[in-house]
Structure 1
Amino acid sequence: MSNTSITALESALQYKFQNHQLLIEALTHRSCKKSYNNERLEFLGDAVLDLLVGEYLFKKFPLAQEGELSKLRACIVNEKGFMKIAQSIDLGDHILISQSEENNKGRHKASILSNAFEALIGAIYLESHLQCVQKIVNRLLEMNYARIDLDSLFMDYKTALQEITQARFGQIPVYTLIAESGPDHKKSFEISLSIDGKIYAQAKGNSKKDAQQKCAKIALEQLERNL
């Protein structure tokens, strides 16, 4: 990893690493077949991010109930949410991957970007302190989520899926109501999602919109795995 690459990433993070070897480990994908990779740091970073995103939302929405806070966190703390943040700091440019993974467009894969971001946060946590990581995470959240609420976060899944399907298939997803059950005050809706006549997802939700968003998320993950 070149000094130029390290400097560019540090500038994007607004953080200077004390231990460059720890940074290199955080960016090393297992495909490199080295004696180290970023999986352990990814494990640590996942736990740190779960806590810090939760605290960020807890303070930002003092009137929100536990259920809404959990849904908001789930919309951010996931592969697609972390990929979005990783892309905002051009993390894909700095990840160390094998040539075969490079040929397979690994730098753009949601799983690799998301895992590297978690590992990066784990590395920063190890060599600094929680307050330092919190400052970085909060700034990245503000930068990537100018508006944080259930409607805007959920909309990301449907919008992102529609953009991909239009580019890849020249079509938009079709959402079909399969079943509706439960009393009026506690309805459950089951929706299927199809693209070009093929069913990609099926999900239940407490509203049609909720079920559609769950379908879009499932379909997105499936399409990204098949890149």
Structure 2
Amino acid sequence: MKTPSELGLKIGYEFKDESLLAMAITHRSFSAVNNERIEFLGDSLLNMIIAEALYKRFPDMREGELSRVRALLVSGKTLAELATEFDLGAFLRLGAGEKNTGGHRRNSTLADAVEALIGGIYIESGFDVCRERVLAWFDSRLVTLNPDSSHKDAKTRLQEFLQARKLPLPDYQLINTEGADHQQTFVVSCAVPLLKSAVSARGSSRRKAEQAAAEKVLLALKDSE
């Protein structure tokens, strides 16, 4: 059985009020006291925090582009990716029917729970702590944003590069997982037809390792041109 302390290690924040954490990870199928209201609060906080971060990071970016990039960063898909990095599905409290139909893997359920956690952190510790945690969670995504590449991540850019040349898509393989459960490092290789050997990279999640490997491949392809 997963414990609150285990989740605290993954998200970098340990709730003092376990009832608040319980609410944040409770789906409406489990109880009438669930995370819907607190998720509403977290959604608004997330949008504000990411908007502020983008405003400061990209002083020359126009309003429409800022809105587009923010929408990408706070999308259900991105939040579900974060939830997967936290192994959040294993902590969710779901009703029997929802659990049996794979609710712990459903993107919308995972995304809502991330927003609920944000709302919970804000309620318990205030805006400054909440902002610090959100920015820590999104750090790798904010750092890799590149205005010159239309804010597409490395995997997307590599895929489009290969597709434009009618070449097979990259082959990502998990080579190794190192470290303790709560502090793992993933080693991933990326092979493409234009390079003689696969490129490997490390990351704190498989997704981050794949992104790092794709970035290295793009640099290698650029150098070979």
**TM-score of Structure 1 vs Structure 2, range by shorter chain:** 0.5 to 0.7
Which residue number corresponds to residue 203 of structure 2?
none
CA distance in 1, matches of 2:29, 2:155: 29
Which residue number corresponds to residue 19 of structure 2?
21
Which residue number corresponds to residue 60 of structure 1?
57
Which residue number corresponds to residue 115 of structure 1?
112
3-state secondary structure, aligned to 1:31:
coil
Task: Compute the displacement of 1:85 (Å).
Answer: 1.4
Gaps of 5+ in 2: 161-168, 170-225
Q: Select the residue among 43, 48, 53 that pairs with 1:51.
A: 48
Relative to structure 1, the CA distance from residue 157 to residue 39 in structure 2 (aligned partners, 3 Å threshold; closer, same or farther) is: farther
Gaps of 5+ in 1: 163-171, 173-227
Q: Deviations over 1:117-148 (max 9, x none)?
A: 00110011011111101111111111355511
Q: Select the residue among 10, 34, 40 that pairs with 2:8.
A: 10
TM-score (norm 2): 0.64
RMSD value over aligned CA atoms? 2.5
Runs of 4+ residues over 6 Å off in structure 1? 156-159
Identity of aligned residues (%): 35
CA distance in 2, matches of 1:9, 1:154: 30
Task: Compute the displacement of 1:154 (Å).
Answer: 4.3
Which structure 2 residues correspond to residues 76-95 of structure 1 after superposition, within 5 A? 76-95=73-92
Relative to structure 1, the CA distance from residue 37 to residue 72 in structure 2 (aligned partners, 3 Å threshold; closer, same or farther) is: same
Q: Deviations over 1:83-128 (max 9, x none)?
A: 1111111111111111221121111111000000001100110111
* Native 8 Å contact 2:145 2:153 kept in 1: no
TM-score (norm 1): 0.64
Q: Deviations over 1:11-43 (max 9, x none)?
A: 1121121210000001000111x2300000010
CA distance in 1, matches of 2:152, 2:131: 24
Write the letter of the residue equivalent to 2:75: N
Q: Select the residue among 77, 101, 106 that pairs with 1:104.
A: 101
3-state secondary structure, aligned to 2:136:
helix
Provide the aligned length of Structure 1 versus Structure 2.
159
